[in-house]
Each structure stands twice: as structure tokens, then as C-alpha cells.
Amino acid sequence: MNTPGQSDSAPGHRLPGVRYRTETRQRSVIHAVNGDPEEIEEDYHVLIPVPPRDWDRIVMTAVTAVAAGLLAIAIVWSVASIGDLLARAVVASIAYLAASAFALVWVSCMALEWLARYNADRAKGPRTAGTVALVLDMAAVATHGHLEDSLYVGLAGAAVSAVAKYMWSTVMKAQARPLPELTRRWLTKREADITARLALGAQLRTLARVEGQAAVYAPPAIPAGHRDTTADTPGHDARTVLSAVLAASATMPDATPADIVAQLAAARIITDTDTVQDILDADTDIRPDTTDSRSQPRVRTIAPAGQSIADTVRTALASGITDKSAVLSYVRKIHGQDVTADTVARTRRRVEPDAS
């Protein structure tokens, strides 16, 4: 072990031709003062070999910087020339803003081409679009030079854009690493699988959102076993009459069809005894047999698809059911016994102004 303050790397361990740098580190040592030892941190120095310069990376960085400079010059020149050209017809600020689109389009296409460097088929689209945008940019710059009686200046300015794009294309090719054919196909297949999962997830979220909206806003469907006997009733939807009849029957189990017709008429829902009788008969057909309908609870179907608790509360209020326990009983018959009284009360406070 080295004594404190000495380097762990002796000069004799240096390799010829290798550069080193000194690095300060810390280690724990036991140090005693007046016979009282303590563990403390001690600084010591080591020699770290310095890797040789990566000239490939340095050259590539320099070339990329040159390409970036040419790109900036090309964009500035194009915007200045095309902006001055368009300023002959529109306000200067708008003209220069529109002129920037000429250069930004082919620059953006080069960026997309770089992102698709591992997929030659996908890179063809951005490459073609970028070439077309570059030709339009060069034509506009040359046209500006011609109108200024300096065609050679316009051609030189157009050549700046061409040189900048060619330089960037060369840099991208130098940095690209083509994949073997089998590896490229593997990557394409894996990317397709992941993309399919993403697309499927997005579509499922969309369907869930649409289904939720339909459950809130779509009218309730007529349950199986009921036939639409109120389709010809003027001024009232068949589902409204159906729900109103079932609500009145739930609160007045001994009522006759005539009594139900009168009850609904008070709620401004017009129907007739034949329609009420047909609904009651269909409702009886879909209920399980019971030996005593008064001693056992009447089993209702689960709420029709799309019918919410708010819809059921509105129907009950429109049918003249105002008592809290009666409304709760009716809602539970439609939606099940798990519906709490608080839920019905909150829903009633929310929809009662609409019902009135």
C-alpha cells in the first residue's frame, strides 16, 4: 500500500506513447491522534490513460457544422430573395413569412428522410418531396434575380440551396449504417406489430368514448319481449309511453289499464287502454312465474341498453311519481337493488328542473 500523498501509479508503469492525466480520489484510512484512532478520508492520486483523439468523430463534427452553416446561409438567402419577390404583391411581413415556407419544406423533408434511414422504402417519399420543394425554391430565387436584372445573382443564390441540400445528403449517407436485409425485414415486422397494437389501442379508446356517449345521449332501447304498440301514438315517443306505463304499474300494482291511462293523462302523456294492456301483458310474459304477485317482488328486466338512471328518474317524475321511496323503488326495479338512495336523490335534484 502506498504511503499517504503518493500516487498508486508509479512512473515505471507508464506505457510509451500513451498520454496520462492525474485524477484525485479518496480512500478511508485509520488515523490516530494521542492514541485515539478514527477512520477518515484521505486524498490520493492515480494516473488515468487518456484515449487518443477520435479524428473520425472530429472530422464528422466539423463536416456537420459546415453543412449546418450552408443550410443556414441557404435559408437566409432564400427567404430574403423570395420574400422580396412576394413583397411586390403583398405586405412585406406576410411576404417574408410565406417565403420561409419554401426553404423549411425541403429542410423538413430531409429531417424525415433521416428518421427513415433504416427503411429505404419509407425514405423515398420524403426524399422525393424534398427534391420537388428544392426545385421550387431554386426557381423562385432565380426568378427574383431575373426580375432584378441580375439573373446570374439569382442562379448563384439558387445554387446555394442546391449545394446545401447536397451537402446534407452526403453527411446523412456518411452517418447512415445500412442494415442487413434479414435484419431490416425483422425490424420492419416488429415495427408493424407495435404500430398495430398502438392503432388498435387508439381505436378501442375511441369506441369506448363513443359507447359512453351513446349510453348518455342515445334513447333507451325497447327490451326484448315488448313490441312497439305505441308507434302510432301522436305526439309521444313509443319508449316514453312504455317507460311511463311500467312506472305507473310499479307504483299502482292493482290499477286497471283505465286507471293507468288516467294517471298518464295527468302527466300529459296520452295513450289508450289497449296500448297499456299490451305493454302490461308483454311485461308479464318476461317476468318469472310467481304464485302470488302481491307477496313476492315483481322482477323487472335490467335497464335497456343506453338507459341511464337519470332517464329512469325523468320517466318516473313525468309519470307523476314524486314520493322519494316510490321513485327509489322504481329505479331499483329497473336498474337493480345496488342503486343507493343517495344516488337517486342526487340524480333527482339534477334532473327535476328539466322534468318540471
Q: Print the SS3 string covering the chain.
A: CCCCCCCCCCHHHCCCCCEEEEEEEEEEEEEEECCEEEEEEEEEEEEEEECCCCHHHHHHHHHHHHHHHHHHHHHHHHHHHHHHHHCCCCCHHHHHHHHHHHHHHHHHHHHHHHHCCCCHHHHHHHHHHHHHHHHHHHHHHHHHHHHCCCHHHHHHHHHHHHHHHHHHHHHHHHHCCCCCHHHHHHHHHHHHHHHHHHHHHHHHHHHHHHHHHHHHHCCCCCCCCCCCCCCCCCCCCHHHHHHHHHHHHHHCCCCCHHHHHHHHHHCCCCCCHHHHHHHHHHHHHCCCCCCCCCCCCCCCCCCCCCCCHHHHHHHHHHCCCCCHHHHHHHHHHHHCCCCCHHHHHHHHHHHHHHHC
28, 40 contact by CB (below 8 A): yes
pLDDT beneath 70: ranges in the chain: 1-13, 212-239, 251, 253-254, 266-268, 281-306, 353-356
| pLDDT for residue 217 | 58
**Distance between CA atoms of residues 303 and 348, nearest Å:** 17
Distance between CA atoms of residues 106 and 209, nearest Å: 39
**pLDDT in the model for residue 322:** 79
pLDDT on residue 316: 79
For residue 172, which amino acid is it? M
Residue 222 identity: I
pLDDT at residue number 103: 87
pLDDT of res. 284? 56
What is residue 132's predicted lDDT score, i.e. its pLDDT? 93
C-alpha cell at position 172: 446523412
Closest to 78 in 3D by CA, of 161, 168, 155, 143: 161
Confidence at residue 315, expressed as pLDDT on a 0 to 100 scale:
80
Per residue in 235-244, pLDDT (tens digit) is: 455 667 777 7
CA 315/CA 355 separation, integer angstroms = 9
| CA-closest candidate to residue 250, choices 324, 311, 307, 331 | 331
Contact 161, 104 (CB under 8 A): no
Name the pTM for this structure: 0.46
Contact 303, 220 (CB under 8 A): yes
